Structure 1
Amino acid sequence: MSKTNKLALLPVMLCFFAMGFVDLVGIASNYVKDDLHLTDATANVFPSLVFFWFLIFSVPTGMLMNKIGRKKTVLVSLIITLFSLLLPVFGESYGLMLVSFSLLGIGNALMQTSLNPLVATVMKGGNVASTLTFGQFVKAIASFMAPYLAMWGAQASIPAFGLGWRVLFPIYLVIGILATLLLFSTPIEEEPIEGKASSFMQCLSLLGKPIVLLSFLGIMCHVGIDVGTNTTAPKILMERLGMTLNDAAFATSLYFIFRTLGCLTGSFFLRVMNNKVFFIISVTMMALSMLGLAVGTSKTVLFIAIALVGYGNSNVFSMVFARALQSVPDKQNEVSGLMIMGLFGGTIFPLFMGFASDALGQIGAVAIMAIGVLYLFTYIPKMNHK
């Protein structure tokens, strides 16, 4: 790898950290629910709204990358993200938080679609899969810091600039500004796009390929379970163990600690182990977790279940994403856009989980996530042996 590429890898990894800001929505929606006295269904609109924009913006972002290049698209996504983090500093009314989370979702849709292919540009044919997994590890650090920053801000002994739990927004804003400036000042050479860029319908027509469609659904389930656990785990602890929100917020961090561990060890396992075997182990861990979350009534069982889904779900995205990219090597920008559109699963799952938990308690939410795990079992035959 040339010296320039090594230099470019630092701002790119800082962008992965900024990509993790989106995961603050799980814990933030719990605090907003508490502050504004909302129902589960109304509070779950926040995570749903964040991921709704993936449906709208992912494929157009794939086309925008073909026009202005990958680096410029990532810069646009960072600027939108910075605006989303600035708004909650001014208050936390329902309307303001809706706008903030919408912008966070739009910025993240652009970033997820353009940053993964930018890694391929920087690596120039190096080990893209394990670099992507390492990027996911960096992203997970931002994810698991969010609940801690919110808890720290919410402690009454620290006024936290009068922001309470919202102190996490300005902290992430500063890091976001740093990522933007670093990426802007780093030269990255991009290959020009050969031939005519695909139209919107040509991108969507790739879903006609069974492996692309099944991978798209796989990513929907992965993200639905991810956002679902992130939002529901604290509620399960509050419902079954009578914990306060501040104590239960640890569940979100526990999930991300194991997801971070999963990404870190996964980048090693994916190099030395048959991908299909690793995929089977991951999905089995998730299935055991759903069982624990459905019936567990002790702290030990519930914590083990949260840890299992964190580790099991940590590499599903990288494996399914890589499988889809291999299937259509000449249309990687377009396939990237479609796969990121699958993050729309983060909208559908929390919405249904909100209704199910209002009706049946948190076991209803777990049942919805379990459907996603069952689907991932059906994806196993599609995984490569490589």
Structure 2
Amino acid sequence: MENTNNITSTKRTILPILFGFFVMGFVDVVGIATNYVKKDFALSDSLANLLPMMVFLWFALFSIPTGICMGRHGRKNVVVVSILITAIAMLIPMFFYDFVMILIAFALLGIGNTILQVSLNPMVAQTVVQSKVTSVLTLGQFIKAISSFLGPIIAGIAASWFGDWKLIFIAYSIISIISIIWLLLAVKGSKQGMGEEASFVSTLKLMKNKKIFMLFLGILCLVGIDVGLNTTIPKLLMERLELPLQEAGLGTSLYFAARTIGTFVGAILLAKIASRSFFKISMVLAIISFTGLMLFNGMWLMCSMIVLVGLSLSNIFSIIFSLALEYKPSQSNEISALMIMGVSGGALIPPLMGVLNDSFGLMASLLLLLVCMFYIGFVALNSK
């Protein structure tokens, strides 16, 4: 009877924590939002791509401080604060819609998401038994992918049916508040998850290790690709197929739908296939399909390539992350903070793409993503 009660208690606790992964997916709204903001304010690509930079810059600045803060104040409190910041960020565009306020809103979204990503994964590990941690974290990524997939659809419906794409932010803010209330009611202990602190010095020292640095750059390139595709797929479909933004934005949803399916299928395959072999096969498929996306015309061919790219990249983050943890298990706190710092690639790659697009055209910006894919392929070949 006691064991049954423990299982029931764990389920009640893990559900609101998993719902936090849905809130985590809100950050990917920056892709479709960049296209709407560019259109609304007649921005150049260089200026429009400041939005992804404002979101992902904070992963470089806040990852290690969040790791330290968790040890002092507890994971639950840190998660609640991160979701509260997200809720506030989502309200700003509804009341103050100009380019500067949009930059501020997305900066807050980036800060909240950084804190959430660093703190939520260890909170899962604290809640479930060790043998279930990997599967539950994979489920969390699946939930996050569903959220990312729904974002462009909600924005498109808001624009087409209600004449205002920004209504998506009201929905996101309400969901964030529900998540906070659920966490506060269901998760006991205000300082859950206190433990060993990662320090600035111990984390940054890991950069001197060649393998850790290689994996860090792999995460940086991967997130840059993800955000770059998020913002570029609608532009590519509009340019090649002459689609309106509302329809072209669904290309991003197609990409995230493929990632959602890929995460689910990958969780099954990775239980049977060695992660290193899976890594290599995935990157070969990613490079071939992305090259096809750059070269092909036609709705079905382009959509097929978008799906293949999404499928092949869907599990790379978790593979690289696990390779880093396997290499230095005694420094898991520092490794986790460092790998999340690599998410700042979403602030680095898209602005460079914007400059290349303004100077040389869309194909030049896509070539940058292809270079990043070749680097991750190099990481896959050297993952021993």
TM-score interval (norm. to shorter): over 0.9
1:109 aligns with 2:114: yes
Q: Offset at 1:188?
A: 5.0
Q: Which residue of structure 2 lines up, in the alignment, with residue 79 of structure 1?
A: 84
Q: Which residue of structure 2 lines up, in the alignment, with residue 256 of structure 1?
A: 256
Residue among 39, 59, 72 paired with 1:34: 39
1:6 aligns with 2:11: yes
Q: Offset at 1:382?
A: 4.4
Rounded Cα–Cα distance in structure 1 between residues aligned with 2:383 and 2:29: 31
Change (3 A) 1:350 1:191: closer
Change (3 A) 1:309 1:5: same
In structure 1, list runs of 5 or more residues that go unmatched.
Answer: none
Residue among 50, 53, 56 paired with 1:45: 50
Query: Which one-letter code corresponds to 2:82 in the other structure?
Result: S
Rounded Cα–Cα distance in structure 2 between residues aligned with 1:35 and 1:198: 43
Q: Which residue of structure 2 lines up, in the alignment, with residue 289 of structure 1?
A: 289
Aligned length: 377
Does structure 1 conserve the Cα–Cα contact (< 8 Å) formed by 2:280 and 2:381? no
Cα RMSD, aligned residues only: 1.5
Does structure 1 conserve the Cα–Cα contact (< 8 Å) formed by 2:86 and 2:108? yes
Local SS of the residue matching 1:185: helix
Query: Which one-letter code corresponds to 1:81 in the other structure?
Result: T
Rounded Cα–Cα distance in structure 2 between residues aligned with 1:342 and 1:119: 21
Q: Deviations over 1:97-141 (max 9, x none)?
A: 001000000000001111111111112312322322211110011
Q: Offset at 1:24?
A: 0.3
Q: Which residue of structure 2 lines up, in the alignment, with residue 193 of structure 1?
A: 195
Does structure 2 conserve the Cα–Cα contact (< 8 Å) formed by 1:220 and 1:343? yes
Rounded Cα–Cα distance in structure 2 between residues aligned with 1:198 and 1:17: 26
Query: Which one-letter code corresponds to 1:261 in the other structure?
Result: I
Local SS of the residue matching 1:243: coil
Does structure 2 conserve the Cα–Cα contact (< 8 Å) formed by 1:117 and 1:333? no
Q: Offset at 1:30?
A: 0.3
Q: Deviations over 1:331-359 (max 9, x none)?
A: 22221111110001101110111111112
Q: Deviations over 1:42-76 (max 9, x none)?
A: 11110111001111101111111121122221111
1:95 aligns with 2:100: yes
Q: Offset at 1:376?
A: 0.9
Rounded Cα–Cα distance in structure 1 between residues aligned with 2:24 and 2:193: 24
Q: Which residue of structure 1 lines up, in the alignment, with residue 301 of structure 2?
A: 301
Rounded Cα–Cα distance in structure 2 between residues aligned with 1:351 and 1:309: 21
1:23 aligns with 2:25: no
Does structure 2 conserve the Cα–Cα contact (< 8 Å) formed by 1:63 and 1:334? no
Query: Which one-letter code corresponds to 2:95 in the other structure?
Result: F
Local SS of the residue matching 1:133: helix
Does structure 2 conserve the Cα–Cα contact (< 8 Å) formed by 1:85 and 1:100? yes
Does structure 2 conserve the Cα–Cα contact (< 8 Å) formed by 1:238 and 1:248? yes
Residue among 59, 63, 69 paired with 1:58: 63
TM-score w.r.t. the length of structure 2 is 0.94
Does structure 1 conserve the Cα–Cα contact (< 8 Å) formed by 2:218 and 2:376? yes
Q: Which residue of structure 1 lines up, in the alignment, with residue 3 of structure 2?
A: none
Q: Which residue of structure 2 lines up, in the alignment, with residue 119 of structure 1?
A: 124
Local SS of the residue matching 1:19: helix
Does structure 2 conserve the Cα–Cα contact (< 8 Å) formed by 1:129 and 1:322? no
The within-5 A match list for 1:288-367 is 288-367=288-367
Change (3 A) 1:336 1:92: same
Identity %, equivalent residues:
41
Query: Which one-letter code corresponds to 1:6 in the other structure?
Result: K
Query: Which one-letter code corresponds to 2:226 in the other structure?
Result: D
Local SS of the residue matching 2:303: helix
Local SS of the residue matching 2:270: helix
Query: Which one-letter code corresponds to 1:83 in the other structure?
Result: I
1:132 aligns with 2:137: yes
